[in-house]
Structure 1
Amino acid sequence: MLTIEELEAALPAMTRWRVPGGHSVDWALLEAALGTGLPSDFRALAEAYPVLVIDDFLMVSSPAPGAEASWASASREDEILQDLYEMGDTEGYVPFPQPGGLIGWADSNSGDSFYWRTSSPDPDAWPVVVRTDNAEWYEFPVGAVEFLAGVYGGTIDVPGMPGNFPGDFPEVLGLSDRIDGT
């Protein structure tokens, strides 16, 4: 599992948004409301950074202190994923909280969704699943931080993404004023 520093090396524009001293997310509250633990790499990312928007394309969700229950609720009630599941358009993937269900952690402005597949009792073993806006599904045997570092470091290619993804010199915005954690 990669560290935040390794992600920062692959995506140096993000470092200006690092929160001095870190956030104080109430993980016990969030995980109780969600009904599961979350991967340690994502927890580290959420403690160090606000919601990140990369190249005005990819928004990486992050729970905000004080809005943990809201973030958990939004993660449990993914209406788009539920609709796709009910229509039979998930290629066997299921929404959380079903066993092995998907929990979203990022979205693109083109309609792509980025999930974890909760396939193991150990959240650090959860793979990343991507649903492209073309309704293609791809699974990667890495966590969110390693996935982002691989995409922006050029070692992970995500089929079905726009031709300019990722950009050569991605810009990063931090949405620290968000209170809903999405």
Structure 2
Amino acid sequence: MTDLTTLTELCTPPGQTLGIGWGTVEAALGMPLPRDYKQLADRYGPGSFNDYLGIFHPHGVTEYVSLTGPMPGRIRTRLRKDYDQGTHPVPHDPDTLFACGATDNGEYLFWITDPATDPDRWRIAVNEARGPRWYTYDGTLTAFLTGVLTGQKRVPQFPPSLLDAPACFTPSRPTLVKPPPPTDARPVDTAAIRSWARAHGYTVPPRGRIPIGVREAWERATRR
């Protein structure tokens, strides 16, 4: 029995498989994605487990829960700042952390994207919203969710009340409320990014969205 089968028996998916165009998604991100995540996202769509664990999705109803939106890059930038300045302990190289979900309490779920070319071997990390603790899980995102929702895995950052009710999945609904953007966001000159990327061997489209991986590489290279 696969982890996804166990999860679907535990939490009934909301409808039919979505059939997401993963080639386009991976091109936008500039990196491959784990097979288990693609199956999970196809089967469940955007939403959250137990009204607490939200998974970023290519069809996220706002840019703040979209896997291809700006949040993973912004979160990584904050982690890099903490890492470089020693503000908070970050036990992994921030360049290997890619946010793939968040909790209602403010924790983030990350893929540890090492090795970069073998996403099916990526592990899961969870930070603490207002503290120094980190938790690392040596397995896939689907296995992590299954372990947490069955009570077989205990994440110190998650509240004990998480399992007070039976496991469930709630699809996301569009909302008109948007959280404010980070105050440290800087203006983006997309032409400059494309020029820099081509000069450094990256392939970028002449127009449209710049892959997240390219944007993050440019931010690291030009960070003041």
Q: TM-score range by the shorter chain?
A: 0.7 to 0.9
Secondary structure of 1:156's counterpart equals coil
Deviation at 1:23, TM superposition (A): 1.6
Residues 87-137 of structure 1 deviation map (CA, whole Å, 9 limit, x = unaligned) = 432423233xx3xx1111110111111111011121010010011223311
Q: Tell me, yes or no, if structure 1 residue 119 matches structure 2 residue 117.
A: no
RMSD: 2.6
Q: Which residue of 2 aligns with 1:129?
A: 125
Deviation at 1:176, TM superposition (A): 5.7
Q: Tell me, yes or no, if structure 1 residue 26 matches structure 2 residue 21.
A: yes
Q: Which residue of 1 aligns with 2:170?
A: 173
Identity of aligned residues (%): 26
For the 8 Å contact 1:151–1:158, the answer to whether it is kept is yes
Letter in 2 for 1:130: V
Work out which of the residue numbers 157, 171, 174 in structure 2 matches 1:160: 157
Q: Which residue of 1 aligns with 2:179?
A: none
For the 8 Å contact 2:32–2:119, the answer to whether it is kept is yes
Instruction: From the superposition, tell whether residues 122 and 16 of structure 1 become closer, same or farther in structure 2 (CA, over 3 Å).
Output: closer
With CA pairs under 8 Å and 6+ residues apart, which has the higher RCO, 1 or 2?
1
Deviates more, 1:22-31 or 1:144-153: 22-31
The TM-score, its normalising length taken from structure 2, stands at: 0.65
If you compute each CA radius of gyration, which structure gives the higher value, 1 or 2? 2
Write the distance in 1 (CA, Å) between the matches of 2:170 and 2:105. Answer: 18
Runs (4+) off by over 6 Å:
none
Richer in helix (by share): 2
- Structure-to-structure mapping, 1:1-182, within 5 angstroms: 2-9=2-9, 11-12=10-11, 15-17=12-14, 19-20=15-16, 22-64=17-59, 71-74=67-70, 75-78=72-75, 79-88=77-86, 89-95=88-94, 98=95, 101-120=96-115, 121-133=117-129, 134-175=131-172, 177=174
